[in-house]
């Protein structure tokens, strides 16, 4: 590849010295071709052309009055050959002949430069040669030679010399930003939970006879609702090492009747379900408790909001009354009076039954697992794992692997709000090359010193070195000792980025500027 250099050279040769061909890749290369000295400035592609920029100096060249001397660059590859415009030295008589022929024919021979000399008078000229030819596919493997020919008055020529001045043409390819700006980050290790406390919650819509708290499994869908609690208990017990410690039953009532009566009814129903569980399951060592919460106005409000039958006006009125907690029993009376009681009757039939529900809360502990057990539990009960155990599991896989990605996504779903989790998930995303996901984990932590070094790394990977530097400086000012390493690397990356941008600019300029004639 021939490189271009605009440095002006002073070159001294002694007349009669033997021909010397220097490497065409040398930016200051000089070539003495017979009586011609050539300095190659550049031979390069420009869009759909090839341009040759040379310094050519003729040294003591002479011709007879009827002779011509041609010297020109030629692009060659195998049998293919493409000549560029020649520089011509003509004897005085031959120049007169050429002038007369061109005048009569109206056709002028294309030459780059032409010099005329008298009898045996030596020519010493120095020119900056700049010529182009159309680019052809075969030129990719071509070299460039300087050819010198002598021609007589009849046009017959004798090739004096053909000497290579460039081994190849410089084809300007669009530079690619292959460098990835990687800054070191440490994975924040989540705290360990040697004993993990977990809660499982659910609801059972038990149907009771009006004013009654006794559980009848055969009534309505009670058997399936009771089975929900059984499945939850068995599912938890089947997890390795789990101990159930507490079960709490909460019961709610619909608004029919007085506030006090409904509160007592909900308490009786919660106690009834607790007793039923004690009679039907082996719950030795487990603390059972119950609590009644009375009328579930909050639940009614939610049902009204989600209902698809009630009109907007009905909903707005009902929600306005439901939200006035200080009214207690009067809320039901006001709802009965509205709209001739139609809205109340609808809620009584369709919505109130859904309020007569029981909720269960199962408290249990889970031991810390080994890596092998973590892999097993992860497949069936990932909610039993701590963030630290997700961290251990993720480290078993390569960051680019599907398994790694699956682990960090589930961990993010299990612990979406904890800062240490968000930082860990961000780093895992960084390691797997997913910068978009990583920055999403860090959203909202832009002013948190614990996140600044991570934000620095992410912006660097995105090629945003100025932002990366800003966060690294903030981290350094906050006392983070790792920030200095970031700043040193960012400074080096900025140098490389400038080099890339300079090459890109050169490429754009070379492929957009007008052809110089």
Question: Hey, where are the domains in the chain?
Answer: 30-166, 195-363, 369-512
The whole-angstrom separation of Cα 457 and Cα 464 is 10
Predicted pLDDT of residue 244: 95
Q: Which residue has the higher pLDDT, 175 or 364?
A: 364
Q: Which residue has the higher pLDDT, 209 or 301?
A: 301
Kindly report the pTM of this predicted structure.
0.54
369-512 domain in CATH 1.10.10.10?
Answer: no
32 confidence band (pLDDT: 50, 70, 90): very low
511 confidence band (pLDDT: 50, 70, 90): low
Residues 345-403: tens digit of each pLDDT: 999 999 998 898 899 999 999 999 999 999 999 999 999 999 899 989 988 988 778 89
The whole-angstrom separation of Cα 166 and Cα 144 is 5
Residue 123 contacts residue 62 (beta carbons within 8 Å): yes
Residue 29 contacts residue 39 (beta carbons within 8 Å): yes
Predicted pLDDT of residue 11: 31
Mean pLDDT, residues 69-87 taken together: 95
Whether 29 shows a pLDDT value over 70: the answer reads: no
Q: 3-state secondary structure string, 456-468? A: HHHHHHCCCHHHH
Mean pLDDT, residues 31-48 taken together: 78
Predicted pLDDT of residue 438: 86
DSSP codes, 17-83: PPP-B--TTSTT-EEEETTEEEEEEEEEEETTEEEEEEEEEE-SB---TT-EEEEEEEEEETTEEEE
Residue 239 contacts residue 282 (beta carbons within 8 Å): no
Same fold: 30-166 with 195-363: no
Maximum mean pLDDT: which of 9-18, 305-314, 433-442: 305-314
Distances (CA, A) of 317 to 310, 336, 354: 11, 12, 21
Q: Which helix (H) or strand (E) holds 473?
A: helix 465-477
Q: Whole-number mean pLDDT of the chain? A: 86
Mean pLDDT, residues 126-151 taken together: 93
To the nearest whole percent, how much of the chain has pLDDT over 90? 57
Residues 189-200: tens digit of each pLDDT: 888 888 899 999
Predicted pLDDT of residue 514: 42
Per DSSP (E only), the strands in 324-416 are: 358-367
Predicted pLDDT of residue 120: 67
30-166 domain in CATH 1.10.1510?
Answer: no
Residue 161 contacts residue 69 (beta carbons within 8 Å): no
Predicted pLDDT of residue 13: 28
For the chain, the distance separating the N- and C-terminal CA atoms, rounded to the nearest angstrom, is 24
Predicted pLDDT of residue 510: 64
Mean pLDDT, residues 140-148 taken together: 94
Predicted pLDDT of residue 515: 38
Predicted pLDDT of residue 14: 26
Q: Which helix (H) or strand (E) holds 449?
A: helix 449-461
Predicted pLDDT of residue 171: 83
Mean pLDDT, residues 78-99 taken together: 93
Q: Which of 7-21, 83-97, 270-284, 432-446 has the lowest mean pLDDT?
A: 7-21
Q: Which of 12-16, 261-265, 271-275, 376-380 has the lowest mean pLDDT?
A: 12-16
Residue 462 has a CB neighbour count (10 Å cut-off) of: 15
CATH of 195-363, one of 3.30.1330.60, 1.10.3720.10, 3.20.20.480, 3.60.15.10: 3.30.1330.60
Backbone angle region of 480, left / alpha / beta, with phi > 0 → left and psi within -120 to 50 → alpha: beta
Whether 118 shows a pLDDT value over 80: the answer reads: no
The whole-angstrom separation of Cα 511 and Cα 47 is 5
252 confidence band (pLDDT: 50, 70, 90): very high
Predicted pLDDT of residue 512: 63
Whether 26 shows a pLDDT value over 70: the answer reads: no
Whether 265 shows a pLDDT value over 90: the answer reads: yes
Residue 481 has a CB neighbour count (10 Å cut-off) of: 8
Backbone φ, ψ for residue 275 (5° rounding): -65, -40
């Amino acid at each position: 590849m021939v490189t271009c250099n605009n440095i002006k050279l002073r070159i001294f040769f002694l007349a009669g010295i033997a021909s010397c061909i220097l490497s065409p890749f040398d930016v200051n290369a000089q070539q003495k071709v017979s009586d011609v000295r050539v300095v190659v400035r550049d031979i390069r592609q420009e869009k759909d052309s090839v341009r040759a920029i040379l310094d050519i100096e003729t040294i003591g060249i002479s011709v007879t009055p009827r002779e011509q001397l041609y010297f020109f660059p030629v692009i060659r590859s195998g049998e293919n050959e493409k000549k560029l415009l020649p520089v011509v030295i003509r004897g005085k008589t031959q120049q007169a002949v050429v002038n007369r022929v061109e005048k009569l024919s109206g056709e002028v021979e294309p030459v780059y430069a032409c010099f005329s000399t008298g009898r045996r008078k030596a020519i010493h000229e120095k020119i900056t040669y700049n010529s182009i030819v159309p680019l052809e596919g075969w030129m990719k493997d071509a070299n460039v030679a300087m050819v010198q020919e002598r021609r007589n008055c009849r046009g017959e020529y004798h090739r004096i010399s053909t000497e290579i001045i460039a081994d190849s043409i410089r084809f300007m390819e669009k530079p690619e930003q292959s460098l990835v700006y990687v800054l070191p980050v440490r994975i924040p290790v989540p705290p360990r939970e040697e004993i993990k406390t977990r809660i499982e919650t659910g609801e059972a819509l038990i149907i009771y006879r009006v004013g009654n708290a006794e559980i009848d499994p055969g009534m309505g869908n009670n058997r399936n609702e009771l089975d929900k609690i059984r499945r939850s208990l068995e599912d938890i017990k089947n997890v390795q090492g789990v101990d159930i410690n507490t079960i709490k039953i909460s019961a709610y009532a619909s608004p029919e009747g007085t506030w006090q009566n409904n509160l007592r009814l909900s308490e009786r129903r919660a106690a009834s379900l607790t007793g039923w569980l004690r009679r039907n399951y082996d719950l030795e060592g487990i603390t059972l408790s119950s609590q009644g919460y009375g009328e579930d106005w909050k639940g009614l409000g939610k049902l009204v909001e989600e209902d698809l039958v009630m009109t907007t006006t009905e909903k707005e009125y009902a929600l306005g009354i439901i939200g006035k907690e200080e009214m207690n029993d009067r809320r039901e009376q006001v709802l009965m009076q509205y709209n001739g009681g139609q809205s109340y009757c609808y809620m009584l039939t369709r919505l109130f039954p859904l309020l007569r529900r029981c909720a269960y809360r199962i408290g249990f502990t889970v031991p810390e697992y080994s890596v092998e057990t973590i892999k097993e539990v992860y497949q069936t009960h990932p909610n039993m794992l701590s963030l630290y155990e997700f961290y251990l599991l993720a480290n078993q896989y390569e960051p680019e692997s599907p398994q790694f990605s699956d682990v960090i996504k589930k961990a993010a779903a299990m612990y979406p709000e904890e800062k240490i989790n968000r930082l860990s998930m961000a780093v895992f995303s960084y390691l797997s090359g997913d910068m978009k996901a990583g920055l999403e984990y860090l959203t909202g932590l832009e002013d948190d010193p614990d996140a600044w070094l991570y934000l620095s790394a992410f912006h660097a990977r995105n090629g945003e070195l100025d932002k990366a530097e800003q966060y690294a400086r903030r981290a350094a000012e906050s006392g983070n000792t790792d920030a200095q390493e970031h700043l040193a690397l960012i400074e080096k990356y900025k140098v490389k980025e400038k080099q890339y941008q300079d090459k890109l600019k050169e490429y754009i300029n070379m492929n957009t500027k007008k052809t110089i004639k």
